[in-house]
Amino acid sequence: MAVAILRYNAGNVRSVAFALQRLGVESVLTDDPAALREASHVIFPGVGEASSAMTYLLERGLDDVIRSLTQPVLGICLGLQLLCESSTENDTACLGIFPHRVLKFEPGPDRLKVPQIGWNTVERGSGLSSGGQDLFAGLPHEAYFYFVHSFYADIGEDTCAHSEYGCRFSSALARDNFRAVQFHPEKSADNGARLLENFLTS
């Protein structure tokens, strides 16, 4: 197994490598197109700002590389958002793998704190896409994961799990060989470790 973690101008990338090490899996942190195409699995993590991240990908031709990947791909947090159609963060056109919009949480009368930081329920169930259930094998239909984000993907045809934080949003998306989660599996204890293991065996 050759696991590649996409390196770009985003934070929290190395913590994913450390999480894989805890599972006994070595990985390479790279923005080399050949290494990404040759990997058995690709992880697209990140914490950061959408427009500057997309600029990095576009300048290096990584946008086309990501779209061309045929092996299992897992987007995490900013990775999920960049795999969507667009983001309202600086009016950014994203990669368009998932036909979803990325919106910002708006503080409401209930004093919603933005960003959302902490544990939240991720729920699968009726009315959601049946794709991506391989990620959640062995996990309950309502499981806790750790989130850190100010933006979220709306509910749509590729939503395979959702969460609530002032509104209902996509906490996991799936289409073809692409999977993506808004939460951080590398910070989500046993549930996160199980999800990463599920991805790596897909």
Give the pLDDT confidence of 65-91 residue by residue, as tens digits: 999 999 999 999 999 999 999 999 999
For residue 127, is pLDDT > 80? Answer: no
Q: Is 186 annotated as catalytic?
A: yes
Q: Which of the residues 100, 149, 162, 184 is marked catalytic?
A: 184
For residue 198, is pLDDT > 90? Answer: yes
Q: Where are the domains of the chain?
A: 3-200
Which residues lie below 8 Å from residue 168, measured CB to CB, with a gap of 6+? 155, 162
Which DSSP string corresponds to 127-193? TS-STTGGGGTTS-SEEEEEEEESEEEPP-TTEEEEEESSSEEEEEEEETTEEEESS-GGGSHHHHH
Residues 35 and 3 sit within 8 Å (Cβ to Cβ): no
Q: Is 141 annotated as catalytic?
A: no
Mean pLDDT across 91-101:
97
Q: Which of the residues 77, 84, 94, 160 is marked catalytic?
A: 77
Residues 168 and 155 sit within 8 Å (Cβ to Cβ): yes
Q: Which of the residues 84, 89, 162, 186 is marked catalytic?
A: 186
Q: Is 100 annotated as catalytic?
A: no
Which CATH topology does 3-200 take? Rossmann fold (3.40.50)
Residue in 200, 186, 188 with CA at minimum distance from that of residue 1? 200
